[in-house]
Amino acid sequence: MAQSIAAKSPGAEIICHDPTTGGEIGRAPLFMPEEVAHAVARAQEAQPAWAALSFRERGRVIMKARKIILHDLEEIASLISRETGKPVSEAISLELTPALDLMQHFARKTASLLSPRRISIGQYWTMGRSSYEIYKPLGVVGIISPWNFPWATPLDEVVMALMAGNTAVLKPSELTPLSGLKIKEVFEQAGLPDGVLEVVTGDGSTGAALVGAGVNKIMFTGSVATGKRVAEAAAKYLIPVVLELGGKDPMVVLDDAHVENAARGAVWGAFANCGQSCSSVERCYVHESIAELFIAEVVKETRRLRQGAGTEKTTDVGSMSSERQLRIVERHVNQAIDNGAVALTGGERLRDVTGPFYPPTVLTKVNQNMDVMQEETFGPVLPIMSFRTEEEAVRLANDSQFGLTASVWTNNIARGQQLAARIDAGTVMINEVFYTHGIAQTPWGGVKQSGLGRTHGRAGLLELVHSQHIHVNRLPFIPDLWWFNYDEGAGLLFRGFARRFSSGSVLQTMLLLPQMIRRWREPRN
């Protein structure tokens, strides 16, 4: 059952259901636009005092929150599992662990990552000039997040925004508002001052209200269609956006790959989180010489998977998070089968259970034009095609509107690196799939329709500040040579600048010294 909304007016609630059982698991307020505006106003008011704290003081609160999360680990993992249908083990391995790691990393390292940076300014140093950059918080950061990783995705962005000196207003997905409220509760217990983190639960209209409520940036994660809507709305207020959108991530298995391991990687990459990840393996291209063996291994591994309630200890694959998402999967698989594809496992929803259960489905005899190879399926489906040459593999991998992650499998690392550089994607992994969102230190983000900007790593942190350039003249008693007045001598010197100074060579610049001294000494008319 999808989450439902009781009467859209002040006091309205989102009623949250466990997708696996359909049972109610809690309620969350549905914030109206005026309430969102109040939340943003509280965050604005709290921001200067929060920014005035040192990195160490801000880091202390983050580390305290981290300790609370560790203490409540089982309770939080169970909540995530019941809200999404994913196995508790995955809530721990794919959400809690990476977010805990990110918390300690940015709590400890933001000070050095955002320390002032000297800028080399070419020949201007010869005139006693220097430049450096400092980084200042943006103000209030609006974070809009999806349901598939309801803990790690918003929490990572909250932590990075806060460490950079911003306050944040988070709008979690309407399918997973309870995880969002739990994030708020953890930070409250950690002693975060009032207003530094506001959580506004609600649906798309709540998210739309947040974009226009006076925030200084939007960090959006979700679908391409909504991302475009958010960017369009943000343009009206001239606020920047980071868009982390969909993916159709290719896996390329070369003829010299370790077949068994590549097959296990494909199965995990395609079916972890029930395939509901922007960086899931969504299409696989395998060299024709090993295709038969590889497919046999994939099928063998897939048949081993145990599907069931996420709260069961031995469940590998849970239910999908919503009936709506399951219907997209059904449409893609049915269209593929109608056009000649063969399902070696799965192929239709499980009918003898309640809840949106779709079995891990391996498809062969697919072609590049099918929706299952072009559109984001976001479900437990692994379509496999074979290729003959590396050229063909690169062409197929790049034949997509998306470019989030990709992987290349080979025992020859140099060969893998060369191929990786030719694939259009924000991240390309060699002999690895899916998991690099879990690395706090590396940039995350896509190209093409997969989005704009970066989260994570130093690049992600720089999205949450603006850089201020400070330029210093250590010879304040000497006028600049390019100031007024312009006369014949000035004209000659400017021509010298164009030829010599702009060459980037100190030696060439020094040749202008006599002319420069003459101009400094010249009496002014």
In the complex, minimum distance from the CB of residue 127 to ligand NAD, in angstroms, rounded to a whole number: 46
When the beta carbons of 144 and 423 are compared against ligand NAD, the nearer one is 144
222 binds ligand NAD (CB under 6 A): yes
Our answer to whether residue 278 is catalytic in this structure is yes
Residue type, 242: V
In the complex, minimum distance from the CB of residue 21 to ligand NAD, in angstroms, rounded to a whole number: 21
Residue nearest to ligand NAD as judged by C-beta position: 207
When the beta carbons of 301 and 375 are compared against ligand NAD, the nearer one is 375
When the beta carbons of 182 and 287 are compared against ligand NAD, the nearer one is 182
DSSP state of 124: G
Q: Which stretch binds ligand NAD (CB under 6 A): 7-15, 107-115, 216-224, 462-470?
A: 216-224
| Count of residues making up the chain | 525
Our answer to whether residue 488 is catalytic in this structure is no
Q: Which of 165, 247, 355, 383 touches ligand NAD (CB under 6 A)?
A: 247
274 binds ligand NAD (CB under 6 A): no
Beta-carbon contacts of 168 under 8 Å, excluding residues fewer than 6 positions away, are 43, 140, 141, 142, 143, 157, 158, 161, 162, 196, 197, 198
Minimal CA–CA distance to 435: which of 277, 283, 259, 240? 277
Distance in angstroms (rounded) separating the CA atoms of residues 336 and 282: 14
**CA distances to 5, 27, 323, 349, 480 from 354, in Å:** 22, 22, 11, 11, 78
33 binds ligand NAD (CB under 6 A): no
In the complex, minimum distance from the CB of residue 227 to ligand NAD, in angstroms, rounded to a whole number: 7
Distance in angstroms (rounded) separating the CA atoms of residues 102 and 438: 8
| Catalytic one of 35, 83, 90, 244 | 244
Q: Which of 88, 208, 309, 326 touches ligand NAD (CB under 6 A)?
A: 208
Q: Which of 14, 80, 186, 211 touches ligand NAD (CB under 6 A)?
A: 211
In what helix (H) or strand (E) does residue 142 lie, and over which residues does it extend? strand 140-144
Distance in angstroms (rounded) separating the CA atoms of residues 337 and 326: 16
Positive or negative: CA dihedral 60, 62, 66, 69 = positive
With H, G, I as helix, E, B as strand and everything else as coil, classify residue 10: coil
250 binds ligand NAD (CB under 6 A): no
Q: How far is CA 402 from the centre of its chain?
A: 14
In the complex, minimum distance from the CB of residue 444 to ligand NAD, in angstroms, rounded to a whole number: 6
Distance in angstroms (rounded) separating the CA atoms of residues 308 and 266: 21
198 binds ligand NAD (CB under 6 A): no
316 binds ligand NAD (CB under 6 A): no
* # residues near ligand NAD by CB under 6 A: 31
Q: Which of residues 337-366 bind ligand NAD (CB under 6 A)?
A: none
Q: What are phi and psi of 280, to 5 degrees?
A: -60, 155
Q: Which of 203, 282, 316, 375 touches ligand NAD (CB under 6 A)?
A: 203
Minimal CA–CA distance to 479: which of 520, 419, 430, 435? 520
When the beta carbons of 141 and 230 are compared against ligand NAD, the nearer one is 230
14 binds ligand NAD (CB under 6 A): no
| Catalytic one of 274, 278, 282, 297 | 278
How many C-beta neighbours within 10 Å does residue 49 have?
Answer: 12
When the beta carbons of 26 and 33 are compared against ligand NAD, the nearer one is 33
Report whether 379 contacts 329 (CB < 8 A): yes
For 496, the token pair is 């010298």
Q: Which of residues 147-176 bind ligand NAD (CB under 6 A)?
A: 147-149, 153, 171, 173-174
Angular region, 195: left φ>0, alpha ψ -120 to 50, beta rest:
left
Residues that bind ligand NAD (CB under 6 A): 144-149, 153, 171, 173-174, 203-204, 207-208, 211, 221-223, 226, 229-230, 244-247, 278, 376, 378, 404, 446, 451
Active site residues: 244, 278
